[in-house]
Amino acid sequence: MRTAPLGHNVSLERRAWNIRRHAILMGEVQGQGYIAQALDVADILATAYFHAMRYRPDDPAWEGRDRFLLSNGHYAIALYAALIEAGIIPEEELETYGSDESRLPMSGMASYTPGMEMSGGSLGLGLSIAVGKCLGLKRKGSDSRVYTLFSDGELDEGSVWEAIMSAAHYKLDNLIAIVDVNNQQADGPSTTVMGFEPLKEKLDAFGWFVQRIDGNDLAAVRTAFDAAKAQHGQGKPSMIIADTLMGKGVPFLEAREKNHFIRVEAHEWRLALDALDERKPS
């Protein structure tokens, strides 16, 4: 059963809500998963897939598509939810999440899943691949854009900064990178594991067009994507720094002690769905 009809006239709020719901259902299948992260990036993914990007659900490899690269492969549960909502993956498949023979493994891989453009998970890869794809698209004279989502923890990786330098050097204005700043990585708060602030100033100095927004404010996310898209032809890559709240949309998860894996008890998946249902947008 679809949680929302495909097609037009569905609000971004409802798309984000649907994405959250798909993700919780997948989390329930496995009894685990990066659910708090999926909830925090749902607004970004909804805006990417239902406002910003060009793609054909029935032809995920369509040459004219915009590319979406998930660098933080452990956020796969969130992207699968968006791909399901976008009609690229059938909704029934969410029941296979993380299971043997599934097209939806716990960490995203290019060869497994339609719409998954790269094998992420070894952190810090996405931006480098994005640079190559942007160079390639420009070589081909394509007007497609490359979107890449990565996590604040990945800012610790030197390769990310190699790619940041090169994207500015090659004036890759067909690149829109989104960094999810939920301030949580494996060993604790990202800002204490390895300080990266002041991030906007750093990226400004690296020659990017940088916006810092509340990544759970859909209007702000939409405006930021529009401004980033308008950079095409202006000679600068775009970075959207999205400050997000882990567990967003499910109050008891928002309030839970912050961890890389947020604790979710077996009975709480249903409670999470109930909490989400109470906040169902029209």
Partner 1 sequence: MKPAAPKTDTGKPRLTTSAMIASIASEGQRTKPAPFGHALVELAKEDGSIVGMTADLGKYTDLHIFAQAFPDRYYQMGMAEQLLFGAASGLAAEGFTPVATTYAVFASRRAYDFIHQTIAEEDRNVKIACALPGLTSGYGPSHQATEDLALFRAMPNMVVIDPCDAHEIEQVVPAMVRHRGPVYMRLLRGQVPLVLDEYGYSFELGKAKLLRDGYEVLFISSGIMTMRALEAAKALVSDRIDAGVLHVPTIKPLDAATILACCAKPGRLVVVAENHTVNGGLGEAVAGLLMREGVHPAFRMIGLPDEFLAAGALPTLHDRYGISTEALCARVKGWLK
| Type of residue found at 33 | G
CB of residue 121 to partner 1, shortest distance in Å = 8
137 is an interface residue for partner 1 by CB under 8 A:
yes
Q: Which stretch binds partner 1 (CB under 8 A): 48-56, 120-128, 245-253, 256-264?
A: 120-128
Q: What is the DSSP string of 168-213?
A: HHTT-TTEEEEEEE-S-BTTB-HHHHS---SHHHHHHHTT-EEEEE
Q: Which stretch binds partner 1 (CB under 8 A): 33-41, 134-142, 217-225, 239-247?
A: 134-142
From 17, 1, 3, 26, select the one nearest 50 (Cα to Cα): 17
Which of 51, 57, 87, 110 binds partner 1 (CB under 8 A)? It is: 110
One symbol per residue from 164 to 203: x for binding partner 1 (CB under 8 A), - otherwise; what is it?
Answer: -xx--x----------------------------------
118 is an interface residue for partner 1 by CB under 8 A:
yes
| Type of residue found at 30 | Q
139 is an interface residue for partner 1 by CB under 8 A:
yes
State which residue, 127 or 220, has the beta carbon closest to partner 1: 127
CB of residue 51 to partner 1, shortest distance in Å = 25
One symbol per residue from 140 to 169: x for binding partner 1 (CB under 8 A), - otherwise; what is it?
Answer: x-----------------xx--xx-xx--x
* Pair 243, 214: CB distance under 8 Å: yes
> CB within 8 A of 255, min separation 6: which ones?
247
CB of residue 136 to partner 1, shortest distance in Å = 3
Which DSSP category does 242 fall into? E
> Assign residue 5 a region: left if phi > 0, alpha if psi is -120 to 50, beta otherwise?
beta
Q: What separation in angstroms does the CA of 144 have from each of 120, 131, 232?
A: 21, 13, 10
Which of 32, 99, 122, 192 binds partner 1 (CB under 8 A)? It is: 122
What the block records as the tokens of 140 is 């081909």
From 210, 204, 216, select the one nearest 180 (Cα to Cα): 216
132 is an interface residue for partner 1 by CB under 8 A:
yes
Which residue has tokens 């989400």? 276
State which residue, 173 or 243, has the beta carbon closest to partner 1: 173
State which residue, 135 or 275, has the beta carbon closest to partner 1: 135
State which residue, 88 or 137, has the beta carbon closest to partner 1: 137
124 is an interface residue for partner 1 by CB under 8 A:
yes
Give long-range contacts, CB 8 A cutoff, 24+ apart: 58-61. 58/87, 60/88, 60/114, 60/115
136 is an interface residue for partner 1 by CB under 8 A:
yes
65 is an interface residue for partner 1 by CB under 8 A:
no
> CB within 8 A of 33, min separation 6: which ones?
23, 26, 27, 77, 97, 98, 106
Interface contacts to partner 1, rule CB under 8 A: 109-111, 117-119, 121-122, 124-125, 127-137, 139-140, 158-159, 162-163, 165-166, 169
